[in-house]
Structure 1
Amino acid sequence: MHTITNWLSGLSGPLVYAVVGAIVFCEDALFFGFVLPGETAAILGGVLAGQGEVSVWWITVVVVFAAVLGDSTGYAVTHHFGDRILTTRVLRRRQDRIDRARRMIGERGAAAVFLARFIAFLRALMPALAGLSDMPYRRFLLFNALGGLCWGVSCTALGYFAGAAFTRIESKVGMVAALALLAALLVALAVRAYRRRRGERGGRKDDRP
């Protein structure tokens, strides 16, 4: 992640917006979330805003807009390809979680679109499943926009305050302390990702007969 941060910080402002927006968009529109997590890109965009590399307001707008547009594209894709998208190699190995996501839509309806925005695997998959479930687009768009707004603001805000703290400490205490703070942030994100994956694996085991 530190390498990605350095690469993004080496770009000019417009390119940072473009790269972060593209990753967030592709996560939901093209199922790239399995290899390019939009959450990571949004947080790193906020970090760069906290360091003064880009505007926090514009990076937030880009993240929210890309999230909503990506979900809408994922929803529309299912009208063209139907359930054939679920037969791809990546998704065939996750059939148990797909079934759980479908049950979630059946139980919660459009609210599942909002909730899924905060769960990594479901964030990339829920728009397509919503389209397959014949959920009316206007209803989908409402919960998609609410989820994208809350998720985008929270992720960029988390990164922004971390980046701002890094800049303040660097100027007062020195590079060593600033790097220690950044390392702690990266470790916290890594632990969070590990626990999330561990929980998903535990969920798969619980689903087995």
Structure 2
Amino acid sequence: MEYLFGLVSRLGHWGYVIIFVAAALECAAFAGLVVPGESLVLASGFLAHVGLLNLDAVIAAAAGGAIVGDNIGYRLGERLGRPWLLRYGPRLGLTPEDLAKAEGFFARHGPKAVLLGRFVGFARALVPFVAGATRMPYRRFLVYNAAGAVPWTVCFVLLGYSLGASWRMAETWIGHTSTIVVGATILVVALVWLWRRRARR
């Protein structure tokens, strides 16, 4: 992260390209699990704060990268996801029936998942892949993806801009919050699964 931060601050206008690429990778399927795009978006707000980058251009680059990355994830899911899930899913306990249910879920609640998944850690990199794998209509995906990507970008860039040198505090706080949200979600899903299992008995 420090290397990327220093690179952006030294390269001037090319820094916008780095922000675009980092945001795209952070949102692309699986790559987003290891690329610190969220941190870089925060840091880019700080770079705009100290005058090294233009605030409007930073927001445009980060938002564009986020949308492109999500579209890459969607296309990968669309072309590779379903066959891969059908082939390897049973080894992970995912049956064709489970996949059919997932497709039904995205048909009913896909827009909410795409919109809200943008704000939850690792889900940001996986939801587009699942949306593509379950054949969520592309136009619907694109609309809700953009509706989530733009405010997400604006919030994080302006947060880094407003906090200035204290942007690292926000990074730590957001990381803890995402962990709590993910943990709570997993707990709720587990409880619902146990309740349904008992009901079947």
Equivalent in the alignment of 1:112: 113
Question: How many aligned positions are there?
Answer: 180
- RMSD after superposition: 2.9
Q: Which amino acid aligns with 1:80?
A: R
Q: After TM superposition, give the deviation of residue 199 of structure 1 in Å.
A: 4.3
Residue of structure 2 equivalent to 1:64: 63
Q: 1:196 to 1:47 in 2, by over 3 A?
A: same
Change (3 A) 1:106 1:42: same
Match in the other structure for 1:162: 163
Measure how far apart 1:34 and its partner are. 1.4
Q: Aligned-pair distance for 1:187?
A: 3.2
Distance change (3 Å), C-alpha of 1:85 and 1:27: farther
How far did residue 188 of structure 1 move? 4.0
Counterpart contact for 1:33–1:120, Cα < 8 Å: no
3-state SS in 1 of match to 2:13? helix
Paired residues of 2:66 and 2:149 also in contact (CA < 8 A): yes
Per mean C-alpha deviation after superposition, the further-off stretch among 34-43 and 7-16 is 7-16
Q: Contact between 1:5 and 1:44, CA under 8 Å: does it hold in 2?
A: no
Q: How does 1:98-177 map to 2 (within 5 A)?
A: 102=102, 105=106, 107-163=108-164, 166=165
* Cα deviation 1:100-129 (Å, max 9, x = unaligned): xx5973552323211111111111111111
Q: CA deviation at 1:15?
A: 2.8
What percent of counterpart residues are identical?
30
The alpha-carbon distance between structure 1 residues 135 and 30, as it changes in their structure 2 partners (threshold 3 A), is closer
Paired residues of 1:29 and 1:73 also in contact (CA < 8 A): yes
Whole-angstrom CA distance in 1 between matches of 2:36 and 2:105: 22
Letter in 2 for 1:131: G
- Structure 2 segments unaligned to the other structure (5+ residues): 195-201
TM-score, normalising length: structure 1:
0.73
Cα distance in 1 for partners of 2:137, 2:66 equals 19
Map 1:1-209 to 2 at 5 A. Answer: 3-4=2-3, 6-8=5-7, 10-83=9-82, 102=102, 105=106, 107-163=108-164, 166=165, 182=166, 185-205=167-187, 207=190, 209=194
Query: Is the 8 Å Cα contact of residues 45 and 58 (structure 2) preserved in structure 1?
Result: yes
SS at match of 1:11: helix
CA contact 2:81–2:130 (8 Å) conserved in 1: no
Q: Which amino acid aligns with 1:132?
A: A
Give CA deviations for 1:42-98 in whole Å, capped at 9, x if unaligned: 1111110111011111111000111111111111112221236669xxxx99x9xxx
| Letter of the 2:160 counterpart | G
Length-normalised TM-score, structure 2: 0.76
Code of the aligned partner of 1:31: F
- The verdict on how the C-alpha distance between 1:142 and 1:6 changes in structure 2, with shifts beyond 3 A counting, is closer
